[in-house]
Amino acid sequence: MWPFKRRTEDRALWQVGDAYPGPPTLSGVRVTPDTALRLSAVWGCVRLLADTVSELPVHVYAKGTRTEVDPPKVLVTPAAGTDLPDWLWQHMVSYLLRGNVMGLVVDRAGLTRPSQIELINPDRVAPEIDPYDRTVIWRLDGEEIDRDNLWHRRAYPMPGLPLGLSPIAYFAQCIGLGLGAEQYGAKFFRDNATPSGVLTTEQQLTGPQAQETAAMWKDSHQGRRKTAVLGAGVKFQQLSVSPDESQFLDTMRFNVQQVCRIYGVPPEMQGAESGNSMTYANIESRDLSLLKYSVGTWLGRLERAMSTLVPRSQYVKFNPGALLRTDLKTRYESYEIGLRAGFLGLDEVRELEDREPLPAAAAPPRIGAVA
């Protein structure tokens, strides 16, 4: 089924980048999703969230039970040559940078459920609201597309808006500041005209004498750490970077914290200071905070979206247990508590440890059970 409808009116084709050139910022840097990724803090947050979500196990269950069923083809290879983790990674990148996920439904299972969805750059899709009946017309590269053949999910939906909010567009000033600070630092070290030190003397020096003195100092000490011996009233004063010129380091550090705040990522995970006295007792507590306040929200969005790809009698669920995997001793102590309380079985424990179940004859009695 061809997903396009040819337009009858003659209009110039909408070009990628024309509608999203990036808003101008006070830093002088124009920010787009692509330029924003060049900021290491944005790249780090996007990579962390996309990697974490895409690598978590995904299960399909029958509604009303915890019976796991085989996933449909669309949850194994959702697109041509793309497995589910890569497909989810693309989902997350579109969510985090543009606030929208766009894809073309190129095949279906029966009449309704998609069985193959090719994700595309959301910048290629633009909504157009009809001024008469207020319906939304969707265009791909300027051509009208059937809404039924468009896979569209919004990260930050707003009432009355067909598109979700873009974090990059809304925080362009913050990201532009970070990009501007990086540019300033690069130019400072490239074009820096500040000398490393000054040779002074109370004697009157002619131009050739000053040049000769500087050349002799350079030849004697450049690239060496020899002891300097000065005479005739010559003094050497080392110069340091002025506070104004070194502030960009503090600016970049603060900018990392701002970007982490946008994406709900603990600043410590991006190499920035948290800005307060709160510390994590251990890595497990930090990962729990990441799951609770950031990753868990993305998992909920993806579960709702992916549940539309399975029969109505089924639903999709991520298993975040891998994210909260503790050290070996703590895990074994937790298993022992579950086994003694009776809400965990030995085979369940072995499955959590990625081990095969024991044969029935070799299975030991449950802990706490009466022989």
Confidence (pLDDT) at 37: 93
Task: Give residue 195's Cα distance to chain centre.
Answer: 41
Confidence (pLDDT) at 14: 28
More confident residue, 149 or 334: 149
Confidence (pLDDT) at 4: 40
Q: Is the pLDDT of residue 176 over 50?
A: yes
Residues 6+ positions from 108 with CB-CB distance below 8 Å: 114, 115
CA nearest to 91, candidates 164, 175, 40, 14: 164
81-to-40, 71, 77, 78, 331 alpha-carbon distances in Å: 29, 18, 7, 9, 37
For the chain, the domains span 4-178+250-302, 195-240, 326-371
Q: Is the pLDDT of residue 70 over 90?
A: yes
More confident residue, 9 or 359: 359
pLDDT band at 125 (very low <50, low <70, confident <90, very high): very high
Return d(Cα 97, Cα 155) in angstroms, integer.
10
Return d(Cα 275, Cα 261) in angstroms, integer.
11
CB 270 within 8 A of CB 44: yes
From the CB of residue 33, how many other CB atoms can be counted at a distance below 10 Å?
Answer: 24
Confidence (pLDDT) at 27: 81
The whole-model pTM stands at 0.73
Q: Is the pLDDT of residue 5 over 50?
A: no
Q: What three-state secondary structure class fits 153? A: strand
Q: Is the pLDDT of residue 19 over 50?
A: no
Mean pLDDT score of the chain: 79
Among 125-134, 246-255, 269-278, 313-322, where is mean pLDDT lowest? 269-278
Burial group, residue 258, by CB count within 10 angstroms (0-12, 13-18, 19+) = middle
Q: Is the pLDDT of residue 199 over 80?
A: no
pLDDT band at 8 (very low <50, low <70, confident <90, very high): very low
Q: What three-state secondary structure class fits 62? A: strand
Return d(Cα 185, Cα 183) in angstroms, integer.
5
> Percent of the chain beyond pLDDT 70?
70
Residues 6+ positions from 28 with CB-CB distance below 8 Å: 176, 180
For 351-366, the pLDDT digits (tens) are 777 678 877 655 555 5
CA nearest to 62, candidates 51, 71, 74: 71
Overall average pLDDT of the 141-165 stretch = 93
Give the CA count within 13 Å in the CB-facing half-sphere of 303: 19
More confident residue, 44 or 270: 44
Overall average pLDDT of the 183-202 stretch = 67
Confidence (pLDDT) at 9: 34
Q: What three-state secondary structure class fits 293? A: helix
324-to-59, 285, 369 alpha-carbon distances in Å: 17, 9, 30
Unique residue bearing structure tokens 């600070």: 181
For 216-229, the pLDDT digits (tens) are 666 665 655 555 55
Residues paired with residue 140 on neighbouring β-strands, in sequence order: 125, 143
Overall average pLDDT of the 59-76 stretch = 90
Confidence (pLDDT) at 2: 40
For 315-361, the pLDDT digits (tens) are 999 988 767 666 667 777 888 888 889 888 888 888 777 678 877 65
Overall average pLDDT of the 98-127 stretch = 92
Residue 360 tokens, joined: 């029935």
Identify the DSSP state of 314: E
More confident residue, 132 or 325: 132
